[in-house]
Amino acid sequence: MEVLEQPVALRPAVAEPLVDEAAARRSLRGQISRLERELGDAVCAAYPRVAAPTLTARRAGPRMLSLGELEALRDELADRLRDLRGELAAQAERQQANRLLIERMLLAPAEHKWVRVSNADLGLPGCKSWHVRPRAGLIGMLAGWWHVKISSGCPLPGGSRRSPRPRPASAIPSR
């Protein structure tokens, strides 16, 4: 058996990271972009519009985020998206309740005196509204004649004033 007189030079032990940092960054950036896209889609799909949630203030200027900062950003986006979805679900429930209210108004108008529901309350564009009013004004109110009046929509852009009609040339006095 041979004995080595000189000790064998051992390489210093290099601790390899357990996580591949580049792969972790790619994964986190992909998750962040997916969450941002879902957040934008949810805000754009809502009607009436809801305010886009804002993130907490970050340091200005371009820089490379650490893994911890990327994870914090991802978690914050996920929280904002969850909150926005909850808000949109509550809005959808209110809109459904207003649709049911319109059905009840049409079935029994006397039980819903002076109630008004607009298209915005239903999540629809436009100015249409349903309003329970007395038929024939004060006499109808005293007699209990209630009905649902459906508005004709948005007013004309000129307001309630009618534009003056052009006069025929023969009606213009000559000098």
Judge whether 142 lies within some domain.
Answer: yes
In whole angstroms, what is the distance from residue 63 CA to residue 73 CA?
14
Residue 112 makes CB contacts below 8 A (sequence gap 6+) with 101, 104, 105, 132
pLDDT in the model for residue 141 = 86
pLDDT in the model for residue 115 = 95
Judge whether 57 lies within some domain.
Answer: no
Closest CA to 98 of 120, 125, 127: 120
Distances (CA, A) of 147 to 24, 53, 88, 118, 141: 64, 42, 32, 16, 10
Indicate the number of domains in the chain. 1
For the record, the structure tokens of 42 come out as 């949810």
Judge whether 162 lies within some domain.
Answer: no
pLDDT in the model for residue 30 = 96
pLDDT in the model for residue 152 = 75
Judge whether 27 lies within some domain.
Answer: yes
Judge whether 103 lies within some domain.
Answer: yes
**pLDDT (tens digit, 9 = 90+) per residue, 133-173?**
999 888 888 888 999 999 877 776 665 555 555 556 555 55
Judge whether 59 lies within some domain.
Answer: no
pTM of the model: 0.66
Judge whether 131 lies within some domain.
Answer: yes
Judge whether 165 lies within some domain.
Answer: no
pLDDT under 70 in the chain at which residues?
Answer: 1-19, 57-60, 156-175
The domain of 137 spans: 21-52+67-150
